[in-house]
Amino acid sequence: MNERKKFDLFPFLTTAVCLVAFASAAAQNPEEGTLIRQANSAEVIPISLSGFSGTAQEVLKFDLEVHGFEVVGGDRAKFNLSGSNNGQVGGRLSDQSKTTLFSKSYTGGNTRSQAHALANDVIFGVTQRKGVTQGQIAFRVGEGKTSEIFIADYDGANAVAVTHDNNLVSAPAWMPGQRKLFYVSYKSGFPDILAHDLTSGARQKIAAYGGSNLSPAVSPDGRRVALILSKTGNAELFVCNADGTNLKQLTKTRDSESSPCWSPNGQTICYVATSGRAGLYKINADGGPPQKLQTAGVGGNLTEPDWSPDGKTIVFTAQMGSFNICTVPAEGGSANVLVDGEDPSWGANSRTVIFTRRKNGGRGLSLLDVPTKRVKDVTRISGSSSQPCWAK
């Protein structure tokens, strides 16, 4: 058996990994919760809040603004949320005619979790679409030349490190419906893909082939993993079972492939192929000829696609001087530039995107409401945060 050789990582890392892996953590923390308005965005929903204070008020305001609401005075509001958080959070949602839409109180957990639950009910009560206020994220935090994987609430609260390797890790991806992460670890001295059970703490190597093992992406049914391997000498797209068995090569090109993501039905994989400039391609998850995805209206290198859970839209990063978050219909067509940023990941509502934003010389996570193009920064922790991924 051939001895495994150390491999030149950089041609095969995604844009985010290349830029973040050795990033300095010296940046100042941005102002948390800052709301950024974008031009040509959809109308927001004006709502007033009354009776809340402290953590409950802060959480409700943050959650609602992330989901396309704007907290205003009662004279401008189309909806009013009144209530209190004395001992437990309770709220009454009414419309302009003062008709009560619902009245609820919440028990269990703490003020923060109860406020998230109330916000979710308000979002659904007004829009008939579920919010993501009770979601979790995984992300990478870099400190100097090392990094660790963290998990946190969607707004960055309650962040906990799940790796303590004092080395490099990257590209976290959740196993749908389970407390399990896949990611790339350099603990062995090589880039290997690990599966990490967050309940037991057990870790299993899924891919540790010669060269680089990168960019794990778990299928919606949790049975398969798409990954990028350079075991054949070039970075190619493969799929395997979730335990690493039954490896199958999908691409065989002179290009360098990267950043796979799955369609919600698990039948198609969108990925990046670099031949000169990086572009987006789709391929059947069981094999077949790849097809380039049309992204009219944007140029430069296109990387880091993520397919919305409703199947309609692919979000991606375009490097056009700066890094930009863009969307395109899943079947291809005209692309839209949304905000500056990279590493986009869709929330379960197919409306909210979490991404990496550069600010004050560092990187932090932000949330984007796609229809209104409004951005809010999540809670920052020490270090450079990047590569966020929603729990599925």
Write out residues in the chain with pLDDT < 70, as ranges.
1-41
- The answer to whether residues 245 and 253 touch, using CB atoms and an 8 Å cutoff, is no
The residue among 229, 143, 217 whose CA lies nearest residue 190 is: 229
DSSP 276: S
pLDDT at 164: 96
Question: How far is Cα 174 from Cα 162, in angstroms, rounded to an integer?
Answer: 13
pLDDT at 14: 37
How far apart are the two ends of the chain, measured CA to CA in Å?
39
pLDDT at 356: 97
Question: How far is Cα 392 from Cα 371, in angstroms, rounded to an integer?
Answer: 22
pLDDT at 33: 52
Domains of the chain: 10-33+136-390 (2.120.10.30), 44-127 (3.30.160.150)
pLDDT in tens, 62-84: 999 999 999 999 999 999 999 99
pLDDT at 37: 43
Residues 6 or more apart in contact with residue 63 via CB below 8 angstroms = 115, 116, 119, 120, 123, 131, 133, 155
Structure tokens at 313: 């839209």
